[in-house]
Structure 1
């Protein structure tokens, strides 16, 4: 036998293996954090000031939800917008409740905006539903 064959194999200590496993685990966690981390601040969509918290904004937010349910807004990923008539009807009903509960407590301008929003929502619903 040669000298190389007579030598006993080198035994790697358990500590080396543990350290290597720990490094690999930390690297894996870092990689996962980078994959799931939100985009950096410079890549985030710009956000402007929030609209005022007033009656008109409330009505408009309900109207936007109605339009979304009626498929008036495209999907950001290019998919065909989904139509949900039941949910659209629910949001229209919510506008009607708002009109009923605020009757006599709104300015003329607010009353007109609410009436116009309800009329527009109903017309869009009828057009989409084909009623």
Structure 2
């Protein structure tokens, strides 16, 4: 029978195997931006810019114009502004105000050119 006293077994792989799935989950969570109000506003704003034909659709990289959809999103942002008035921090309120201002100007410009 062979003497096993000289052999060293590396058991660290067990710990690495336990940690790997946790690290993958943490990485997946980090791939997503943190959900907050400013990110939500920016997302709606981007949808409006796409609907106005000012930004290409990131899915197909084509410029598509849908004035009705743009108006709906702008109206939705206006409702959010009214319903959250006095409940936003300074940065959030300014972002919403500037976003609405820019989108309204672009909307009027687009509709005046068509009319």
Q: TM-score, normalised by structure 2?
A: 0.65
1:1-131 alignment, distance < 5 Å: 49-75=31-57, 77=60, 79=62, 81-130=63-112
Residue 73 of structure 1 and its aligned partner are, at CA, apart by: 2.3
Structure 1 residue runs of 5 or longer lacking an equivalent are 1-47
Q: How far apart in 2 are the matches of 1:55 and 1:78?
A: 27
Of Structure 1 and Structure 2, which has the larger fraction of its residues in helix?
A: 2
Structure 2 residue runs of 5 or longer lacking an equivalent are 1-29
Cα RMSD (Å): 1.9
Q: How far apart in 2 are the matches of 1:121 and 1:88?
A: 9
2:13 aligned residue? none
| Rg larger for | 1
Residue 116 of structure 1 and its aligned partner are, at CA, apart by: 0.6
Would the alpha carbon gap of residues 128 and 107 (structure 1) be closer, same or farther in structure 2, given more than 3 Å must change?
Answer: same
Q: How far apart in 2 are the matches of 1:82 and 1:105?
A: 35
Q: TM-score, normalised by structure 1?
A: 0.57
| Aligned residue pair count | 83
Query: Which runs of structure 1 show a deviation greater than 2 angstroms over 4 or more consecutive aligned residues?
Result: 73-79
SS of the counterpart of 2:31? coil
Residue 82 of structure 1 and its aligned partner are, at CA, apart by: 2.2
